[in-house]
Amino acid sequence: MSDTQQREESAKALYSRLKQERDSYTRRAEACAKVTIPSLFPEESASASSSFDQPYQSIGSRCLNNLSNKLLLALFPPNATFFRLQASAELTNAADGSDENKKKLDAALAGLEQLILRYIESNQIRVTIGEGLKQLAIAGNCLLYLPPNGGIKLYKLHNYVVQRDALGTVIHIVTVDGIAYAALPDELKGMVDDNDIKPETQVDVYTHIYLEDGQYLSYQEINEKAVPGSDGSYPQNNYPWFPLRMVKVDGESYGRGYVEEYYGDLKEADAVSKSLGELIALEAFVVHLVNPTGQTRIKPLKDAKSGDFIPGRPDDISVYQTGKAGSIQIAMSFLQSIAERLGYAFMLNSSVQRNGERVTAEEIRYVAQELEDNLGSIYSILTQELQLPLVRRLLSQLQTAGYIKELPEGAVNPQITTGMEALGRGHDLMKLQTFLQFAATLPETASRLKGGGILSMAANSLGLDTSTLVKSDEEVQQEQEQAALMQAAQSAIPEAAQQGLPGGAPQPQQ
């Protein structure tokens, strides 16, 4: 970034300007959080010690948790890869086109896929993404950042602004982080003007990411002064900030939340639940009315035991009832109809997933298809704006950290699949099984199939290391040659025995 651009508008000034456009989205998000899980998106002035008004129903929280859990299961299935790595044409040609080299290349790519999955789990990336999916459902927006040294950070809509062009390309991102003064490096403490600042005082650090000349540039600033050494540059299709949207709206820099589309029902359910609770409490309130001119005395009646005889008249005592049982039934019926509509919209009643950590591939496939059918483009946009950039960025981080060798640009291309294809390589196994079932119906197909290739493809689809499971062509050929030599040696023994001596020497005449 040039000095001229810095003087034109600082990151703090840009943040303040773009914040005005963002405020309407944050207000809607706060309203949606109040009828679901208020602590997920509190008001901007809230702190860790703030208390929240709890909703009068749990339908909203159940809907939100169910939707986010299903999205997480379909986007990042725990027992299968959500992507597959494909070698470029140059890398494939470098394998000389032999079957053995192709098998080794497929095995290497499958191993790389498993390495990325282990990296995701060990750095708690999947956990943070699950939290981000809840933010998407409520606010429609969130920002994920993958630091160069590993890990992941989630920014709520309160802590960043974004600007896109008409085609949805990100032009500017500005994030704000509150860092305690005592945690700042010594060389940055001098950038804070107040000399009487306390160690626990939060200092705002702004990070500005912007698109220029086909790449993203970034820098940080404190008190509208650029932090020395904070400049960075990244390729346009591989940078560590992921501004996510739930529902894309053309011409808008921010997305819309899924809860917002059903806010009316959720708000009505909250209001009816509140009224219903008050009605039930009122109906359960019991008061005995006593005729002030009656002959029955209250104290003997209160002190009487079962079977006692006391003077009095039944007409002097009556039980007050509100008579609202009919209203309670109407309110409960109305609340049930709202719950049914929300259950259908948030897919509460149509899941086949069992309780437990291990679920079958068919269950994951069903959930993925269900999301594609019910949510449509929402599932697809998360594939393009979350899964694909995440795999690309993790590949770069693994190379930078030295976990894998440096790959040429474009040598490996990740492919994300959606809907019925969401299981990646696991779907290839299903195709292979279908093919073998069809081949079994044809005559003389067994002699035409390559058993080694079938085994290697099945192992790669399951993410297994074929080097310890499947013999290579060279190993098979060596075993065949050794078997042929042993067979030749065994056939030579009877022939020598016919001569009576080892080596076939003639027997002496008697």
3-state SS, 117-163, equals HHHHHHCCHHHHHHHHHHHHHHHCEEEEECCCCCCCEEECHHHEEEE
Q: What pLDDT is attached to residue 372? A: 64
Helix (H, G, I), strand (E, B) or coil at 251: coil
Between 62-71, 97-106, 137-146, 313-322, the lowest mean confidence (pLDDT) is in: 97-106
Q: What pLDDT is attached to residue 350? A: 58
Helix (H, G, I), strand (E, B) or coil at 220: strand
Contact 126, 76 (CB under 8 A): yes
Q: What pLDDT is attached to residue 509? A: 52
pLDDT band, residue 1 (cuts 50/70/90): very low
Q: At what angle do helices 263-284 and 11-34 cross, to 10 degrees?
A: 40
Residue type at 259 in one-letter notation: V
Helix (H, G, I), strand (E, B) or coil at 386: helix
Q: Which has the closest alpha carbon to 81: 405, 415, 404?
A: 415
The end-to-end CA distance of the chain, in Å, is 109
Six token digits for residue 321: 């009832």
Give the pLDDT mean for 89-113: 76
Alpha-carbon distance 336 to 324, whole Å? 18
Q: What pLDDT is attached to residue 207? A: 96
Contact 125, 153 (CB under 8 A): no
**Is pLDDT of 510 > 60?**
no
**Alpha helix ranges (H) inside 287-360:** 298-303, 325-345
pTM given for the model: 0.75
Give the pLDDT mean for 384-399: 90
| Dihedrals phi, psi of 199, to nearest 5 degrees | -60, -30
Residue type at 196 in one-letter notation: D
**Is pLDDT of 263 > 70?**
yes
| Dihedrals phi, psi of 70, to nearest 5 degrees | -70, -40
Buried b (16+ CB within 10 A) or exposed e, 132-167: bbbbbbbbbbbbbbbeeeeebeebbbbbbbbbbeee
Higher pLDDT, residue 460 or 112: 112
pLDDT band, residue 420 (cuts 50/70/90): very low
* Sign, Cα dihedral of 198, 199, 200, 202: positive
